[in-house]
Amino acid sequence: MSEEKIAETMRKFVGSLETKDVETPLSLCADDIVWKNSAGTFKGKEEVKKYLNWLGEKVENPKLTDSGCGILIQGNKAAYEHTFSGVMEGEKVSFPMLCTYEFNEDGNIKSLRSVYDRLAIAEQATNKWLPKKIVNTLVGQLQKGLE
């Protein structure tokens, strides 16, 4: 599979997330895909479909924008650095993501790993007093000594 085709597939996958189109990303995946991210491990198209539907319900106006190194490709593996933004729990959020893809011989995504900071998302999306206090306390503890 050419680098151009890999990049095109990745952009099509990410673009479909912005429109909350579930069928397009599933059509780009191998039947036995494994997608690991901070929300869990999703094996096979049915679990990935469930995750995509959940994501579509949780995030309004999702937007993924190239950032950092963008797309890097080596053989059948690629990395994609981008920024995810949208509205969660009524609050605007924006956070960096790094996703690694592995493609099978048919050009389908067989492995996807997405790395992002859930605590940073919680800091932005938490808008009620008690949860905000809990998140801010946790963040403060984790950053203790950096001031």
The structure's pTM equals 0.87
Do residues 133 and 61 both lie within one domain? no
* 110 in the same domain as 147: no
* For residues 117-145, average pLDDT: 83
Looking at the structure, tell me whether residues 95 and 140 fall in a common domain. no
Mean pLDDT of the chain: 93
Summarised one tens digit per residue, pLDDT across range 6-27 is: 999 999 999 999 999 999 999 9
What is the domain range of residue 65? 3-116
Residues 90 and 147 in one domain: no
The first and second tokens of residue 38, run together, are 């901070």
Q: 102 and 146 share a domain? A: no
Does residue 142 have a pLDDT over 90? no
Domain match, 68 and 133 both: no
pLDDT tens digits for 50-74? Answer: 999 999 999 999 999 999 999 999 9
* Same domain (yes/no): 75, 140: no
